[in-house]
A = this chain, B = another copy of it.
């Protein structure tokens, strides 16, 4: 057995073949805790990860594994995939403790690794739900068993441990199980897991170990999919993404997280095997998803019943399911596609999701979470209802989201910068430093930014080598005008394929300043998005705004007072990104349906304040809305009637 813990290196996603863009090492970027990204990562380290570990150590996730080594007498309880929550937490600790700084946390993680190790069967197989049942063997509940889903999260944790050089035993536990799975799920055994996830995990484990069998098993899962093996079930084959072979897929459909994890696996397999058709299929589904089935916050999934994506343009703000895990999966997918293609559109979607759909899921304390992330919540909710979430909760019966957030944020700095044959790319401005290696040339970037409050980013670029190379900075799709200065001197730079590209010798230390114009934008949805017809959403930079009940004084954002508000003016944001607005009101209708009635404002003004969507709900349960009705929408032209 190769000692895997020597395979240190990158963060998540490290292709072994040449891709247009390359990730940097996990240790290469450090975030400043005073910046937007760094303060979140610090909150994740100091609050979210311990909170997640507390819940796992004291709940069914622990007892389900512990009973297998006789440490608990409790029966198996909860979701069949509670193991995966442990694995996600272990992955979070690995990414977070790569510098070995947090001894206490590593020690808690080590205890969990030992728990998993002790739960294993002789050949390395481990799944506490399957092992708890005497009536069912391995690989017997493809639809709902989540067996490879759990295994995949174990593999990803093992990959993080290997790359970070921590929790060595976890790497062995992961590869032992992967060896068994690769052996058993071959030949006649055509087990296909109902929840895609293992595909990307196996590719990553292949990347760390070089074991071709893992890549083969990943590809096999893709090849088995799409022929109705999983049976119809009540939600239909598309729920499991088993209605069409992945390479032939044209539409994003089914369970949102399954669809997005499947796309991640497709990209990973395509990249490692040079399968252009598979990559094209992923891109095709991506286009359908982002052109017709994505919330303005970057979230996915409009149906609660089957956690599904829904029809094209079916994007209700109130009943948005918008699962946190789907937003995380979207972020991971776009990172993969960005590396594989170098195209800006993927970095743009990462930004939208990160600053909105993902960031909203954690409270400002880091210890409360949204599972579902609606864009509108009506009044009358006390924050306790998972199905109409008006407040973040400490934990969930289905606890997939909090540990998923923990592992993503612990590796957040891995997703911001890349290198290429021509130079380095800053996709996402942040506060912190990056130590890059550009084909043997060491380069240091010291970045500071007003992002997302403002559009100014400064980079002190230092290198001792004299050689021309390109420093590229992404211009977000929302940005119409930019200014570039190097050492105080204004440069004429036109964005090329979405990036400001400055090619020069950066020998010595130079100050690059990039400014993005960042006006408030009134966003309208495509005319087929019926649910927000006649409404606008306000955004500034990457931040989508929300109107919270808390900020409209005596008025009521739902009652006739300002529901049908006319947007009179929008002011510049305050230091905490609150955005003053003047709204017209009140509007009054009486009956639920009427023939003659017209709702109209009485002309008075209401002074309110919008908050970043990601920060709503931190002041107690309150009605909220992202999409604001405009005056035009209520002056319906009823046409001529006979």
A residues whose Cβ falls under 8 Å from a Cβ of B: 234-236, 290-292, 294, 296, 303-306, 311-314, 316-319, 376, 378, 380, 385, 387-388, 397, 478, 519-537, 558, 560, 563-564, 566-572, 587, 589-595, 597-599, 627, 629-642
Are A593 and B524 interface neighbours, CB within 8 A? yes
Residues of B within 8 A of A290 (CB): 592
Are A527 and B560 interface neighbours, CB within 8 A? yes
| Cα A630 to Cα B296 with chains together (Å) | 23
Residues of B within 8 A of A235 (CB): 387
| Cα A627 to Cα B478 with chains together (Å) | 33
- Each complex incorporates copies of this chain amounting to 2
Residues of B within 8 A of A590 (CB): 526
Are B630 and A638 interface neighbours, CB within 8 A? yes
Are B291 and A524 interface neighbours, CB within 8 A? no
- Where chain A touches its partner, the secondary structure class is loop
Q: How far is the CB of A327 from chain B (nearest CB, A)?
A: 16
| A637-B632 contact given A523-B595, A526-B593, CB 8 Å threshold | yes
Are B296 and A593 interface neighbours, CB within 8 A? yes
Are B527 and A564 interface neighbours, CB within 8 A? yes
Residues of B within 8 A of A526 (CB): 589-594
| Cα A535 to Cα B531 with chains together (Å) | 11
Residues of B within 8 A of A567 (CB): 637-639
Residues of B within 8 A of A317 (CB): 530
| A595-B522 contact given A304-B305, A311-B388, CB 8 Å threshold | yes
Are B592 and A639 interface neighbours, CB within 8 A? no
Contact of A566 among B535, B597, B637 (CB under 8 A): B637
Are A305 and B633 interface neighbours, CB within 8 A? no
Q: How far is the CB of A628 from chain B (nearest CB, A)?
A: 10
| Cα A521 to Cα B591 with chains together (Å) | 15
Are B291 and A303 interface neighbours, CB within 8 A? no
Are B533 and A533 interface neighbours, CB within 8 A? yes
Q: How far is the CB of A7 from chain B (nearest CB, A)?
A: 41
Are B592 and A294 interface neighbours, CB within 8 A? yes
Residues of B within 8 A of A630 (CB): 636-639
Residues of B within 8 A of A589 (CB): 526-528
Residues of B within 8 A of A529 (CB): 592
Are A522 and B639 interface neighbours, CB within 8 A? yes
Contact of A592 among B291, B304, B633 (CB under 8 A): B291
Residues of B within 8 A of A639 (CB): 522, 536, 566-570, 630
| A533-B319 contact given A519-B641, A525-B592, A589-B527, CB 8 Å threshold | no
Leading 10 A-B pairs by shortest Cβ distance: A567-B639, A534-B534, A522-B638, A304-B305, A527-B599, A534-B633, A527-B564, A311-B378, A305-B305, A630-B636
Q: How far is the CB of A414 from chain B (nearest CB, A)?
A: 28
Residues of B within 8 A of A304 (CB): 303-305
Are A637 and B631 interface neighbours, CB within 8 A? yes
A583 to chain B: closest residue by CB: B639
Residues of B within 8 A of A637 (CB): 566-567, 630-632
Are A636 and B632 interface neighbours, CB within 8 A? yes
A251 to chain B: closest residue by CB: B380
Are B568 and A636 interface neighbours, CB within 8 A? no
Q: List 5 A-B contacts (CB under 8 A).
A: A236-B385, A376-B530, A522-B641, A530-B531, A570-B642
| Cα A431 to Cα B383 with chains together (Å) | 53
Q: Given A534-B534, A630-B636, list of 6 further CB < 8 A pairs?
A: A236-B385, A290-B592, A304-B305, A527-B560, A528-B560, A633-B636
| Cα A366 to Cα B102 with chains together (Å) | 70
A591 to chain B: closest residue by CB: B526
Are A527 and B629 interface neighbours, CB within 8 A? yes
Residues of B within 8 A of A593 (CB): 296, 523-526, 537
Are B523 and A570 interface neighbours, CB within 8 A? no
| Cα A569 to Cα B636 with chains together (Å) | 15
| A533-B633 contact given A566-B639, A569-B640, CB 8 Å threshold | yes
Contact of A312 among B378, B537, B631 (CB under 8 A): B378
Are B376 and A306 interface neighbours, CB within 8 A? no
A528 to chain B: closest residue by CB: B563
| Cα A640 to Cα B314 with chains together (Å) | 29
Are A380 and B636 interface neighbours, CB within 8 A? no
Residues of B within 8 A of A312 (CB): 378, 380
Q: How far is the CB of A233 from chain B (nearest CB, A)?
A: 11
Residues of B within 8 A of A563 (CB): 527-528
Q: How far is the CB of A455 from chain B (nearest CB, A)?
A: 14
Are B316 and A524 interface neighbours, CB within 8 A? no
Q: How far is the CB of A83 from chain B (nearest CB, A)?
A: 22
Are B642 and A519 interface neighbours, CB within 8 A? yes
| Cα A598 to Cα B630 with chains together (Å) | 14
